Each structure stands twice: as structure tokens, then as C-alpha cells.
Structure 1
Amino acid sequence: MASFMRKYNKRILAVLGVFLMVSFLIGSFLPGGSRRGANPVQARVGDTELRLGDFQRAAAEWEVLTRQIIINVPLVTPGGRRTFGVPVATWELAARGQALDADALGRIIQLTGQVPPSLEMAAQVVSQITPEAYLLLLTEAKRMGVTVSEDRYREVMSKLPPAPNADRRELWRQAVYNYLLVLEVFNRVADTVKVSQPMRVHEIAARFQQISVKLVEFPVDRFLDRVEAPTTQQVEEHFRLYADKTPDPDAPTLTFGYLVPNRVKLQFIAIPRSAVRQQITVKDTDVYRFYRDNPRLFSATAPATQPAAGPATQWAATAPAIAPTTRPFEQVADEIRNRLIDEETNRRMADIERLVSSTLRNDYTAWKAELAKQAPTTGPTTAPSSLGEPYDTYEYLQKLSALVQQKHNVLPTAANLSSFMSARDLQQAIVGLGDAFGRTRDGFVRFHDYATNWVRPLMTEQQQRRAQQLGIETLSLWEPGIPMTDNSGNLYLFRITEVSPAHPPASLADVRPRVEKDLRLKAAYEKAMAAANALVESVRGRDLEAAAAETPGLQVITTGRFSSRQDAQVTGYELDPKSRLAFLNGAFGLLRTRMKTGEQHPVGVVELPAPRRVLVMQLHELEPARKGELFDQETAYIGVELQARIVQELMRQWFEVRQIFSRMNYQPRGSHG
């Protein structure tokens, strides 16, 4: 663990120095004297001693697995084919979390063009494993006597990039083999996880049974004209309670908050992938050469011999042998051409990224050094840059765009956002960049989150330490951020120019109209809830329609049948995506009430804060799950999905650092005799 190394670093160095000195003296007077003291015991796991050298080797291997061996995965997007890199530790763990092999996981990414949740989850798990925890996992594997087959080891190694030199090659091989040992232990544990038939039946019933409901809605806005204006005391008290709070849009009820979130000003350069791609042409001879040199990429299958004719209603007793063949050039020429164009586009985009990133980084380093020499100033420094404009100016970015155009014949878009923007503002206002993502050492991060949460002037010391543990590169002002890519493959490089940390409003006056509006909304919401609860009380033991008929103006809506799937469509009642989940939870909560109490048509209140509605809902009809044409396939898929879900949760727990320490009875030096 990084904290362990920080905590014991001085002690380790001191002990190491003493042992080296003693070892040297003993060696001087006693031939053959032991030098074991140069490798002191640092911890114990049961009766097993862990020495300094063990920690050093584990740290070197974990560095290899999480930062040096990178698997480039092709990703097909609307902008063409591109690649992104994933550390081998994350990649292999994600494959196990998905209950797939690494090749199958790669095909999923290629087919969907998206990073699957299992990969993001694996990145989170790997990010919190420290070299110290990795050593314990490896010790656990060796104590259990697990092995990795030679075929499995060779299969993984064959997919990895070549090591830079012979020394590195040996370290890489050992690191990969040891990591496979660690994963083999987890495989043994995960293999004990079985989806029982009752679990499968319950999940099938939950997904495929359908219900319909009757409901009466109480729109909160209908009660606004029935509430009085809030008093000064109420306004001041409400502001005091929520000045430093943030409203939760996903909360099941109405929430309030007036905290001004982190906001930033920034500048960025955008390189459109389409502009790079449209410049590229591929010769027919190059297309044919690729076809000729890569026949396996265009193989098809066909019967080696024609099966004997037989009755049309009868399967042949023996399936015909399948022989490979190659698809005609005419069928695949366009596919090859697009592939070659995409590959060249990727290469040129990478060249542009290197040019822009290196120029920004070098000039930032020089600017920062020059700034340290100057007296503090609020204006731009006059320190020169490689482009002839001061680094901390918008003109510098414009010059950088011109440099890209000069060298690559593509003019990037340079932008200067001079107004403070929150994460939500960035996501909604900037097309492309708002939803772009970048790769850190162990995972992926969204631009709007990175730009507003991982800037050092916006972070506490604890948050900065946490970012370091996660492998996320935090930013200083004007420092170039990690490259960002949107779903179309466009490239963005940005820098934060000014920040405004989250803070309560300076005074009530800044948000008074909003507070007064919220208080009226709160009062109206309470009246809507009171009316809904009154109707629920009058329904008990009766039909909702009969009870609603006693109150003028109430309309009963009967929905069509719907399932509990999050994307289920509720016919007869319009719902926005945010409200659908709350609606479904409320509706199927009534079904659970029926199963517990035996009441056939239970009734309850369901809150929909986003559209500002309160519903009185009654379970109407229940249609049990039935076998359809695809029932068997869907059932099998549900089994696999349940298995993967359980394995992923087990993975989170198994690789949690505190669980590792506890499981292994880990005793750092100083905690044992």
C-alpha cells in the first residue's frame, strides 16, 4: 500500500542502512559472512516472512501490469475505427468480471463501439490495489499452490505488445505469469458461484411478469395558487438550512440546495477527425495488396463437398465438412479501403496529438519556470514561448492551431470560454467535448467531471492523495489536461485558466427569488402529498375509481401492462426517463406488498419529483411470465447475466485492500514480535 510505504519509508531506509553496515563489518572479519540483513523482514503473513526485496519486486511487477503493458483495443465509432489502450491488469480482470475471455470482451467493444461497464468496474478495482496488496495476493496464490497452464500463459503473452528490451521482457513475463496466478485463485472462488434454479426463476418472474395499475395524479403546480407567499423568517430559515447543500436530482422526493458548484474557465483546441479523414485517399493497388497479403481476414466457409440429396424434412446424418475459402475481392474492396483510411486517420490523429501535446507541455514547463522567477502578477506573463506569443494567452492557442494547419493541413478550432461553467454547464453547452472522455493510468474519466473535480486549486489535500492513488493526473492552472476524445473520434486538448471553488452564495440576496420560489413549491408539494394520502385512506378495501369519484375533478388513469425492465414502456401514461424508474419502483413495490400481505389490489403514494407530480397508485392486474418464442434463449441469457453480476460483486469484495489484509492476517513490521 502506498500509505504503508510512506509510513515506513524512513524506517526501512534506516534499517536497511544499519543492516548494510553490519553486514559489511561481519563480511570484513568473517569470510562467508551472511548478507541477509540487507534484505530485512518487513512483514509476516502467518509464518511466511515478507522481505524488502519481495516488496520491491511486487512494486516493479505492479508497475508493469498497470502502466507498461498496454493492450490497444480497436473501437469502431461514427468517425471511423480508432484504438484505445487498456492496462493488461485491467483487461484480464474485466474479462473475468464479464464471464468472458479477453477476445470475446474485445469483440463486444468492437460491435457496440462502447466501453462496457465491466471494463470500467475492473479499472476501479485495479486502481485501488496497491503494490503491497498485490504482493499479498501473490503470496496467497503461491500458498494455495495454484498453477497456470502453459497454453493459457502463451495465449495471453501472444496478445501483448513486444517488450522494449531483453531485461524488460523477462520482467514482463514474470509479472504476467504471477498475475495469472492471482486471477486463478479468484477463478477458483468464482467457480463456486452458481445461479440456483430458484434465483433464475425469481429473476425471470421479476423481468417477464407484467402488471397494470390504476392511478390518480396530483400535479404540484395545481396547488401553487393555494399557497401563501413565504414570510421573511421562513425565507431566511430555508436559506440557512440549504445554503451549503446541493439538490439531488435522483432523490425520490423533493430536495433543495443553493451551493454554487465548482466552476471553471478554460481554453481548448478541437481537432475534427472528419477533416483529417477526408484528406486521405488510398490507391487501388494498396487495397489489392492488403487483400492479397491478408487472406485470413476475408475468409468465408463453404461445404468441402456437397451433401447427398435427401428428404427435405430430414437432417443429414452427418454434417458436411467445412472448408475455408476467401471472399471475392470485389465484395471486400470497399471494406479494405475504409479500413486503410481509418488506419491512416488514426496515425495522423496520433501525430497531431503528439505535436499539440508536446508543444503545450514544453511551453507550459518553460512558462512555469519563468513565472517562478517573476514577482506575482495578475496579468499574463511576458515569458516567451515556442510560438512567439505568451503561453497564458488565447493568442497562443490560435498560433498553435496555425502550426497544426501548417504541418498537417488541418485547421483545429481554438476556443476561449471566458465565463465560469459548472460540470453541468460543460456537459450541456459544449457539443462533443462535453461528453468526451480521456484515459488515465487505470481507467477512464469524463471531461466535465475531470475539468471541475480534478484541478488542484479545487481540491483538498485528501482529495489530491486519493487522485494519486487512483492514477488520475490532477491539473494546475494553465497546465494541459489529458487528451479527450468524443464518440465521433474528435480530439480535444484543453487547459483550465481560472477556477471558482464551490461555495455558498455570498448572501441571501443573491438567490432570494429562487428561495422564495422553492418555498412556494415546497408548500404546494406538501399540499399535493396531503391530498394524495387522504385519497389513499379513503381507498382502503375499495377500488380506486370508486374512491376518486367522491372527489370532483379527480381522473383515474388505467395503464397498459408493463414489466419491471428499466426501459419498459408504460402505455397510457407518459413518463420521462428520469421519472420512469421511480414509477416502476413504486408500481412493483405494490406487487411486493401483495405478495407479503395477500391484499389483491394494494394502494400507495408514488412521488415523481422531476415532473413535480404525486401519484396515488393501485395495483390493477398481474400477468405471470409466459413462454414466448425466445423464452429459452432469454432464460439462458438471464442465467449468464446473473452469474456475471454475482461474480462482479464478488470481485469487488475479493480485491478490496482491507479484505486482502484481513484474509491474509497481514502483520507489518512493528505489529508482531
Structure 2
Amino acid sequence: MFKFLRKYNKWILAVGGTLLMIVFLIPQAIEGLAHSAGAERATRATIGEDNTRIRNAVWSEVNREMDFIRRRERFEPFFPELGRIENVGHWYLLSLEAERAGLVPASGSIGISREEIEAAAAGTGLSPRIIERTFAKLFGVERLIESYLTAGESSDRRVRHFASRILHEVDTEYFVINASSEGVDFEPSDQQLREQLERYGKVDPGEGDHGFGYRLPHRVKLEWITISADAIREMLLDSEDMSRVEQRIHWKRNPDGNLPQFVEGATEVPEEVRQDLLARLMERRVEEIARYARDQLRASQRGLSQVDGYYVLPDDWSEQQLEFPELAERVRTRFDIELPAYRAIGDRWLTLDELDELNGIADGETTRFGSEPLGLRELVQSARQLDGSAMVQIQRDIAGPPLVDLEQNIYLFRITDVDPRRAPQNVDEVREQLVRDLRRLEHFRRLSEQTSEMEQRLRDRGLLDAAIRHGEEIRRARLSICDLNEVQMRLMTQQPLKLVPTNIPGLGPIRPTLEAVVDQARHLDALERRGETVRDEDRRFVLPVEDRLAVMVGRIRDQSPLSRDEYELYAQFGLFTELIRAEESGGEADLAEAFGYDALAARHQFRILRDDDEIDPAELEEIDLDELASAE
């Protein structure tokens, strides 16, 4: 028996060890599979009166499509008329409406080559199937928007009237009195502050009436270390890698064939050879340092469990994690360079716009998540606790990928705290803005009450006296309701056609004010055509501009009606008819009202379930995507 065991001991150990390993791992594997299956079947959202459930598996795929869209919308939105797609739910509902309308083409007939799809997949890390399906849905949504914007033909008389009004040019001189928080003795009450916050607390700054809006943007706190390219370069210059022997070897090898001809016995190595060698060494050393720092950080994360690619951090993670000052010291010791600079901003919140202003690190980029470089702003915005991303997995208290700028400085960063976009919790969070805006509103109200007095003084003493009295500078501008140059630019760049108001210097493109000036000028023109006398005081105007909380005081100097030749020139291309269609469709505001996320969610009774949401399982029904898309 013992002889048998000695003879086959290796086989017995191998087979027995394998069986023990199987017995040990099978329960964990079963548990992992069960957890994965459970996560995929969990309900992420509901839709419709019957609360039809949308599973995590479906939501995950839509999230990947949205990740591709976010990357492509970095510079301009897919649908300029609608603006950027707000979130995953918005994209889900938009594509759903396009599918229900039968406007989404089959994946094989979207007019994009397989090479283009595979290139997009390689650049984003997404599968070609996801890329192709996303493009098909984008085409469907585009056709949905186009069909909504299309309107019927207008009569020739109506087109002529419309054209003559929007392109009637008026030569004006004027000045602007802006309402100011300093210009009125007024202190808003606590009740007024609360009412103002209640009305505009969920509105983004600049988006509400008069530009009011107090919703706080995404904000973060950050820490980072900077490994200076100068320090790395100085270390290399003092190293054996840059010795005269290594320089001569590099000169002789001439790896790219772009160096001067090697001269045997030369006493001096050309400067361009030295710089070429240094550049190659810099590239390798920067990559080596970044990899070392990343490995040090990963070592401290070893043993942490993950869910959907994100680490589950223990309560005492702040004590376990590798501190950045310690990491900086390790880098200094390992590579014999100057101690990397450490900086932390923990005493105040940083908005995404303020991240762009951080010296140095704002210029760093990484290709960790695809061939398309991502900077600090995009990475932070993709954090799980903010917008989130299926492909760019960043989270609070876990260091992001190393960033490198054009000068080869290396940056290692970590988000230490997050405050997602939200309405202020109380008046004190935005008290300064509230007080300033209510004072401006009160000043504008008092200015508006003085318009009759201003008009009388303007008639009696003229524009110059009025400008001096208010301490304002007189401007001069040719105004029309429609900025023809902007419309032509939209045509040339194949943007959706819409009426773009002329910019009023000092005020902006305020259409109601433009219309008031143009209509007054056209009335004077009609009087002159009938042979009636037009007095100089009839050319003067005082116009409250409520959108900007300002008053425009001015005088009409001259005007240029649209000529017949100009009308015929633009009419033959259908310009005015298309502008009327855009006006009748309601333009961007009406489109946002029809296809914005809030409108779509209300129309479809769509609700995303958060972690703390509860819903009776009996109220949920299984979702069939094909049936949902084809439902009437």
C-alpha cells in the first residue's frame, strides 16, 4: 500500500488538489453567478400606466449607447435644435419614440461602412454592435425631429409681409440703463428670498426669467500630485543613459533615419542627436513613472470587492488608502527625482468650469478609456456619483488614471468629495445671489415706472442730455429682427434653419426689443410714404427690456426697407418659407417642450428607480422591448 502511494504520490496530489479546489470554488462561483444574474434582472426603471419594468440588463445597454453619445457630443450636440441629450433616461425615451414611429432603420442600412463602425468601436472600447445600433437610433431620432419641424406652405402675401418685417434695417443711436443691485435702497425680506428660491431653485443659472436660476452645478473636492517634466529631464541628463557613449551609439544606430550622417571619430555629437535621444528617454521614463504610480495605488486597492466595475470601499478606507504625500515620496525615492508637488483643495467646492482653470492639471489627458484623449473635466464629470459612465469608471476616493500634458508633466488625482447638481437646500447657500437679483428686480421696476418721465425729458432735451444724466455712453447700431449673416452661416454649415435675432450691443439678441424698434420705424416709414410729417421726437423711444432688466433709450436715425430685388434673391431659395416653418414649429423652445426629458417622462409615465425607491412587485409587468417599440 505504501509502495503504491509512493509510486503514484504526484498523481494523487494533482488529482486530489484539483478536486479540493473545485469543491472550494464551486460555492463561490455559484454565488457570483447568482449575484450577477440577480443584478441583471433587478428593476432599474418603470414605464407606462401598468409600471412595466425595465431590467438592469436593458438599462446597461442603453447606458453604453449613451456613453458613446456623450463622447461624440463633447464639441457639439447631435441635435442642435434640441440641444444635448440630458441623461440615459432621455436617450431611452427619444429612441423609443423614434422606434414606435417606425423611423429607426435596420442596422445594416444606416449608410455607415463597417470600417467606420469598427474604427468608432476601437476608439471607444464599445462593441461594433452597440455602435451600429446607436447610429441607427440616432438616425431615427433625427428623422423624428425633422418630421416634427416640417410645416405646411404659406401664402405669397404672408411670406412677403414676413420678409419685409424681419429684414427691415433700422439705423439707431441709443444707450442702455442696466438695473443694478447697487442702484436702489432696498433690502428683500426673508419671505421674498424664500419665494425667489422656491421659484428658481431648480433652474440652472441664466435659464429662468430675467436670467434667474440657482441650481448648484456638479461640484467636487480634489487632491493631486504633479511630477514635473523638468525634474524628469534633469534626472535623465545626469544619468548614464545620456552619457557620450550612449549618445554616439544612438547617433550610429539612427533608428528613424532622420539624424545626420554618423561620422566615425567625431569629437562632438550633434545637438539634434542629443535632443532626439533625450526625447525618447523622456517618453519611456514618463510611461514608466506613470505605470509605477498606478501600480502603487492599485496595490493599496488589492482585496477590495467590486460591483459593476466600481470598488466597494470599507468604512475605514480613509485609513487604508495610500496617501498622496506618501506616494510622492515613493516616486521620489524610486526614480531619484525632485519630490513631486502635492496639492489639495478641500476647503471649498470646485465646479467643472473651475476645473478647467486649474493650472497644469487641467491640460493633462489620458487614453486609458479609448483612443480618444479625455481630460480632467471629462473624467470628473463621469464619476459614478455625478453623471456616471458605462466605460469611464471614476469614483470618489479612488485615484483616477495618470494624466500627461503636452510638456510631459504627470498628474495623479483623486476626488475626495462630491456634491452632485442639486437645488440649494436653504436660502443661506445662495443668499448673496438671491439678494443681488431681487435688488436688480426692484431697481428695474422703479426704472419702468419712470419711462414716461424719461420720454418727456428725451423729447425736451434730447438723447445726449439723457445719456449724460444717467452716466451712459451712446452707442450706434443697425438693427433688424433677423440677422441675415447668421442665417446664411447656418445654411452654409448645414445647421437647422431658424430666425436668429440681431445682436443689440450692450443688450444681446432680444427679439421683443428689436420688434418694437423695427415696428416703430416701419410706422414712420408708412407715414412718410403718405406724405405726412414725421417730427424728430417721433423717432425717439424708451423701451423697458424685461429679459435683461434694463431700459433702452434711443433714437431712429435712418432705415432701409427690404428691396424687391433682395426679396426675389432670397425667396428663390425658399429662405423665407423655411424660416416661417421654423417659426410655426415653435423653434427650439417648442421642440424642447415636446422632446425634453421632463416632457417625455411625463408622456410615457417613466420613472427611474433609485436605491431607496420602493414599488410593489405586484404592480410590475415584464417588459418586451419589441412590443414596447411597436405599441401604438
Higher-Rg structure is 2
**When the two structures are superposed, what TM-score results if normalisation uses the length of structure 2?**
0.49
Q: TM-score, normalised by structure 1?
A: 0.47
